[in-house]
């Protein structure tokens, strides 16, 4: 039986992870999250890449979707903040894969030069929480006039059951979960406004609920994606595992006949550089 009681908040002092700390593991990703690129077809369809086009894949991860784009257009530059993911992208065969954080695009001499027909992003923008406006500004600088920004990311209420579970688990142990929460899940109006204020015309933007079947279970998902929340327990493997198991145990309705699901909310949009 998992203890779910809330103890009196004591202020814990472990620091939140540095934004540039690379906690990504391409191995964990392919074991627990291969469904992520596999579910990217609708946003690739919305992008509708053309054979003559030059495309920037922002937050390309291990490059599985990049390879798909490479077959459909002239060239793709894949960028990701994680060196481990970019190494995996190169191993997987991506022709041009570079370690670049989306926040740094705006100052990037080679990429932010108005040469791209489109910037594409799948399941990545929600990790760029530090300054989402700066990320949009960078995308804008990369695009030709009339170029398009087509993306899908977590939106308002994304993975809310697991996120809430992680918040409770940290609160109960005296930590402020806000400090460890790495995700930015905007609603339609919030993100539309951000795009418009940075010079985009929004052609479409919607929030799409997607019940998502996991490769393994919620514990495997947290182990892969929840590293920021687990930072306070890095030196204590037992407590780290206890937190993961506790969050999963508190989600009995996420499992049906041995198959685990999480309720995703996809924010999908197409915006044009005005």
- Site residues for ligand BEZ, window 212-271 (CB under 6 A)? 225, 264
- CA 85/CA 104 separation, integer angstroms: 17
- Output the six-digit token pair for 245: 């198991």
Site size for ligand BEZ, by CB under 6 A? 8
Nearer to ligand BEZ, 263 or 272 (CB): 263
- Output the six-digit token pair for 237: 């493997």
Given candidates 154, 186, 220, 232, which one binds ligand BEZ under the rule CB under 6 A?
Answer: 154
- Taking residue 42's Cβ as centre, other Cβ atoms within 10 Å add up to 14
Given candidates 69, 78, 105, 159, which one binds ligand BEZ under the rule CB under 6 A?
Answer: 159
- CA 140/CA 137 separation, integer angstroms: 5
Using CB under 6 A as the binding rule, whether residue 191 contacts ligand BEZ is answered as: no
Q: What are the backbone dihedrals phi and psi of residue 147, each rounded to the nearest 5 degrees, phi first?
A: -70, 160
Segment lying near ligand BEZ (by CB under 6 A), choices 42-50, 79-87, 153-161, 253-261: 153-161
Rounded to a whole number of angstroms, the minimum distance from the CB of residue 53 to ligand BEZ is 25
Given candidates 46, 176, 183, 192, which one binds ligand BEZ under the rule CB under 6 A?
Answer: 183
Nearer to ligand BEZ, 112 or 205 (CB): 205
Nearest alpha-carbon partner for 153 in 179, 191, 189, 101: 191
How does strand 116-122 pair with strand 143-154?
parallel
Using CB under 6 A as the binding rule, whether residue 166 contacts ligand BEZ is answered as: no
Interface contacts to ligand BEZ, rule CB under 6 A: 123, 126, 154, 158-159, 183, 225, 264
């Amino acid at each position: 039986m998992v203890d779910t009681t809330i103890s009196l908040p004591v202020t814990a002092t472990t620091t939140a992870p540095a934004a540039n700390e690379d906690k990504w593991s391409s191995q964990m990703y392919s074991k627990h999250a291969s469904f992520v690129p596999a579910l990217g077809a609708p946003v690739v369809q919305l992008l509708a890449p053309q054979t003559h086009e030059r495309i920037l894949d922002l937050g390309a991860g291990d490059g599985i979707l990049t390879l798909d784009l490479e077959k459909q257009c002239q060239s793709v530059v894949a960028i990701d903040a994680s060196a481990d993911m970019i190494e995996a992208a190169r191993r997987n065969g991506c022709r041009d894969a570079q370690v670049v954080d989306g926040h740094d695009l705006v100052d990037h001499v080679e990429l932010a030069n108005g040469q791209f027909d489109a910037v594409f992003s799948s399941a990545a923008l929600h990790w760029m929480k530090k300054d989402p406006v700066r990320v949009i500004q960078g995308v804008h600088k990369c695009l030709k006039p009339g170029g398009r920004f087509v993306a899908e990311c977590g939106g308002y209420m994304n993975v809310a059951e697991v996120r809430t579970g992680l918040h409770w688990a940290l609160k109960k142990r005296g930590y402020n979960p806000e400090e460890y929460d790495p995700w930015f899940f905007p609603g339609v109006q919030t993100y539309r406004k951000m795009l418009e204020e940075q010079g985009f015309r929004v052609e479409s933007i919607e929030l799409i609920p997607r019940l998502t079947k996991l490769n393994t279970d919620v514990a495997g998902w947290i182990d892969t994606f929840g590293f920021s929340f687990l930072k306070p327990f890095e030196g204590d493997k037992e407590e780290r595992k206890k937190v993961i198991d506790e969050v999963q145990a508190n989600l009995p309705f996420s499992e049906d006949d041995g198959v685990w699901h999480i309720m995703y909310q996809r924010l999908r949009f197409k915006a044009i550089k005005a």
